[in-house]
A and B are shown apart, each in its own frame.
Chain A
Amino acid sequence: QKEVEQNSGPLSVPEGAIASLNCTYSDRGSQSFFWYRQYSGKSPELIMSIYSNGDKEDGRFTAQLNKASQYVSLLIRDSQPSDSATYLCAVKPLRYSSASKIIFGSGTRLSIRP
């Protein structure tokens, strides 16, 4: 079992709709959770971080964390073609709480169709 799992996609969403990306993790004690966006041929860039249960909103993006169920999700409202990218979920497992180390999922490819 991978430590951080994501559906590879592609996830196709019509423009203007809500895109929902999911991620599960195996270490129940994980503390910190991140979503990175990676355009084709480019480097990852951080778009959201979340540390406690519930929702965190930033513009059109909402990160949701449920530690009991060990999943974290990213919602993108009013999806735009520019949102088409691969979204990487990253988790800081408990065993690395004193170290600067995070584990990345393999990413979900999102495609927004006009």
Chain B
Amino acid sequence: EAQVTQNPRYLITVTGKKLTVTCSQNMNHEYMSWYRQDPGLGLRQIYYSMNVEVTDKGDVPEGYKVSRKEKRNFPLILESPSPNQTSLYFCASSPQGQGLVKQFFGPGTRLTVL
């Protein structure tokens, strides 16, 4: 089954404790992206990757890191989480040639930072 998976789905952590949210897709998509979704603000892009070893900042990259060492994986790293990073996070992938005609979203990760 073609899908985007994220782990964990739910996470409660404390300020300053490094964490990684994994994202994996099995559709051989070149493009992958991370978004956060907050009430009233919609989906905001954190980072995106056009292909392996190619990443770029989105609209709200502060406090986040990413890497793209393999085509299928695009982990999101919070080196020192803070309460303002409490949010719902989505990973998405898309075939590059389609210019984002269709993005496939993962199920989401609900993160709470205390």
Contacts and interface: CB of A to CB of B under 8 A. Distances in A.
Interface of A: 4, 8, 32, 42-46, 49, 88, 90, 92, 99-107
A75 B41 CA distance: 23
A88 B58 CA distance: 18
- Of A4, A44, A90, chain B has the most CB atoms within 10 Å of the CB of A44
Interface residues of B, number: 26
Given A4-B42, A42-B107, A92-B99, 9 more contacts: A8-B40, A43-B108, A44-B90, A100-B33, A100-B50, A101-B58, A104-B35, A105-B42, A107-B42
Given A106-B40, A106-B41, A49 B31 contact: no
Interface string B40-73: 1111110010100000101100000000000000
Given A32-B100, A100-B31, A44 B50 contact: no
21 contacts: A4-B42, A8-B40, A42-B108, A43-B90, A43-B108, A44-B43, A44-B105, A45-B105, A46-B101, A46-B103, A49-B101, A88-B42, A100-B33, A100-B48, A100-B96, A101-B48, A101-B58, A103-B59, A104-B35, A104-B43, A106-B41
